[in-house]
Amino acid sequence: MADLHAAARFVWKLRGHLRDPLDRTAAAAIVRRRLERRAADFLRLVDAAVYANPRSPYRRLLALAGCEPGDLHALVAREGVEGALAVLFRSGVYLTVDEFKGRRPAQRGSAVVTVSPTALCSPLRDPRLPAYTGGSGGAPSPVAYDLPSIRDRAVNALLALEAQGGLAWVKAVWGLSAGSAPVVLRYSSFGASVARWFVQVPPTASGLHPRYRWVSPALRLAAALAGRGLPRPEVVPVGDPLPIARWMAQTLRAGAVPHLYGFASPIVRLCQAASQARIDIRGARVTMTGEAVTAARLAVVRAAGVVATMDYGAVDAGGPVSHGCLRPSSPDDAHFFHDLHALIQPGPGAHGLPPRALLLTSLRLTSPLVLLNVSIGDQAVVERRPCGCPLGAFGWETHLSAIRSFEKLTAAGMTFLDTDVVGVLEEELPARFGGGPADYQLVEEEAADGATVILAVHPRLGPLDAEAVREVFLAAIGRGDGAERIMTLNWRRAGLPRVERRPPAASARGKVPHVWRAYVAESEASALPGGAP
C-alpha cells in the first residue's frame, strides 16, 4: 500500500515534470551554479540531513570525531570540500561498502555505530518512485527517487549527449526490468521522450514484487496526462538481442540516429549478434554502463560500426557520477561529475581500503541517499587534467580511469557483492555436492562477446551434474522478490554462470579468492593497487 500511495503521488507530479523539459542553455547554467556553490551546498546537505537527523549514522561518526557543525564549517572554509573530507576520513568519518549496506556495524575504536540502509535515505526527499538496490544476500537497500533527483541527473545526461551532437538522437533504454524507469525518465526530461524501452526480465515474471508490474502503467498514464508519450517495456533478453538491432537498423534507414543506453556486456552481445545476422547498424550510438569497459569490449562494438561512450555510477549515488571522455586516453577514461559529488581516495594503508578506492560524498540536496565518504566497492586512477574534450568545458576536469570493483562481481549487467557469494561457495555447494571451500570459484573472463562468468568446480570432486550445480547456485544467490530475483532470472536467461571442471585459480601468494577476474589478472594487474585482481 505504501508503494501504491507513492506511485499515485508520483504520477500526479510527473505531469508537470514532463511538460517542462530541460534545454541546453538552462542545463549549462545549472552546472555552473552548482560548481560555484559546491561548498555551500555540501554544508547545507550535512546540516539538514546529518546534524539535524537523529537517525543518521554520520551524525554519530562526526560526534566521535569531535566535529560539531561549527567545526565542519570552519574546516571547509579552511581546507575546501575535498580537503575537509580527507580530514574527516582520517578521523573515522567514512563507511566501507559492508558498513554502508548494513552488513556489519561501523566500529571506530571501542565505539560501535549501527548502520541501517533506511537511515541513509535522505530525510529531505519526498519519495515518489521506489527502487531497490543490493546484491544477492540480505535485504535490498531502498533508494527513493523523486522528480527533483531525476531532473538533477538529467542535467548532466543532457550535456553529455549535447557534447556529442546527440540532442536529436532517437533514445532507447535497455534495462534489466521495469526498475530502469528512473533512467527512462532521466532521458525523457529533455528533448523527445525515450522512444523504446527494452527490458531483459518481464515485469510479470514469477516471483517478482508487484511494484514491477505497476511502474510502467503509472508512468505512461502520467505522460498521457502531460500530453506526451512513454513507451511500454519490451522484453528483449540478452540471449536474443536482434529486435534491438532491427530497431537500430530501421531508425538509421529512416535517416535518424538511434542511441541505446544499457549495460556493457549486453550491448557487446547485441553488436556481435547484429554482425552475425548481417544487420547493418553502422552509425548507431550507445552509452555503456554498469560494467568495466575494456578494449576488448569496445573492439566488438566498433567492429559493428557503432560509436560507444560510457558512464560510471551506481544506484546508491542516484545514477551516473561520470561520463566517458570524448578524447579518451584509455577505454574507460571518464569525466567525474564533481557538481554532483565530491571524491577522495584513502591512499596507502588507510582503514583497510585499497589506496585507489573511491570514496563518494553527496553534494546535492536532491540526493536519494546521503553519502559521506562512502565506498561502493570500486577503485580507479583519478587525475585532474585538461583534455580538450567538450565535457571539460563544462568544468568537469577530473578524470577516472581503470575503474574496477574490488568487492563486486559484475557481468552481463549483473552485480553481486563478493561477500554475498562466499556462503554459497563455501557452504551451500560443498554441502550439496561435496568438497570444501577451496573447490568452488566464480571466474569472470573476457570472451569474444564481452565478459562471461564461469563457476569453476574442482575435478577432484568426481562426476557431477553441471546443470544441477548451476541451478543450486542460482537458487541460493537469488533469494528474494526484488533486485536479487531479477539478477538471477537474467543470469539464467543468459546461460550464466557456465559450469566448468577446473581447479580454482590461485594468486601469486597461493590464495584462492572466491571471485577471480581473469582479464584483470592477465592484462591489467599493474593498474591496480598491489598488482592483485
pLDDT of residue 281 exceeding 60, the answer is: yes
291 close to 176: Cβ distance less than 8 angstroms: no
Distance CA 82, CA 386 (A): 19
Distance CA 362, CA 384 (A): 20
Contacts of 284 (CB under 8 A, 6+ apart): 248, 251, 252, 257, 258, 259, 260, 305, 306, 307
Distance CA 306, CA 400 (A): 23
Can you list the pairs that 209-213 forms with residues at least 24 positions away whose Cβ atoms lie under 8 Å? Answer: 209/481, 209/482, 210/3, 211/3, 211/130, 212/177, 212/178, 212/179, 212/486, 213/178
Residue 513: what are its φ and ψ, rounded to 5°? -70, 155
How does pLDDT run across 18-70, given as a tens digit for each residue?
A: 888 999 999 999 999 999 999 999 999 999 999 999 999 999 999 999 999 99
Sign for the CA dihedral angle at 406, 411, 417, 423 comes to negative
Least confident of 45-59, 115-129, 219-233, 330-344: 115-129
Domain ranges of the chain: 2-118, 411-531
Q: What is the pLDDT of residue 398?
A: 96
Mean local confidence (pLDDT), 177-206: 91
Q: What is the pLDDT of residue 522?
A: 40
pLDDT of residue 146 exceeding 90, the answer is: no
Cell numbers given for 91: 578521523
H-state helical runs in 105-180: 147-163
Alpha carbon 522 to its chain centroid, in Å, reads 25
Domain 411-531: state its class: alpha beta
Return the amino acid letter for 237.
P
Helix axes 2-19, 211-225, angle to 10 degrees: 30
Q: How many CB atoms lie within 10 A of CB 207?
A: 12
Distance CA 386, CA 380 (A): 18
In Å, how far are 89, 148, 259, 307 from 167, measured between CA atoms?
Answer: 40, 21, 10, 15
Q: What angle do CA 118, 120, 121 make, to 5 degrees?
A: 70
pLDDT of residue 523 exceeding 60, the answer is: no
Strands 450-457 and 498-501: parallel
Q: What is the pLDDT of residue 278?
A: 97
Percent of the chain past pLDDT 70, that is, above it, reads 85
How does pLDDT run across 365-394, given as a tens digit for each residue?
A: 999 899 999 998 899 999 999 999 999 999
Distance CA 435, CA 461 (A): 6
Cis upstream peptide for 497 (omega within 30°) = yes
Contacts of 254 (CB under 8 A, 6+ apart): none
pLDDT of residue 81 exceeding 50, the answer is: yes
Given strand 450-457, what is the order of strands in its sheet? 498-501, 450-457, 440-447, 515-517
Element (H, E) at 274: helix 264-276
Q: Look at the chain and count its residues.
A: 533
Mean local confidence (pLDDT), 213-226: 84
528 close to 520: Cβ distance less than 8 angstroms: yes
* pTM flag (> 0.75): yes
Return the amino acid letter for 38.
R
Query: What residues pair up with 357 in beta bridges, in sequence order?
Result: 379
Residue 257: band (very low, low, confident or very high) from pLDDT cuts 50, 70, 90: very high
Query: What residues pair up with 8 in beta bridges, in sequence order?
Result: none
Least confident of 75-79, 90-94, 100-104, 203-207: 203-207
Distance CA 269, CA 323 (A): 22
DSSP state of 225: H
525 close to 404: Cβ distance less than 8 angstroms: no
Question: In the predicted model, what is the mean pLDDT of the chain?
Answer: 86
**98: nearest Cα among 106, 87, 90:** 106
**Looking at per-residue confidence, does 344 or 319 come out higher?**
344
Given strand 170-175, what is the order of strands in its sheet? 233-235, 196-199, 170-175, 258-263, 285-289, 307-314, 319-324, 334-336, 398-405, 374-384, 357-362, 341-344
How does pLDDT run across 484-509, given as a tens digit for each residue?
A: 677 778 788 878 889 999 988 865 44
71 close to 86: Cβ distance less than 8 angstroms: no
Alpha carbon 67 to its chain centroid, in Å, reads 31
Q: 3-class SS at 191?
A: coil
pLDDT of residue 450 exceeding 70, the answer is: no
Q: 3-class SS at 348?
A: coil
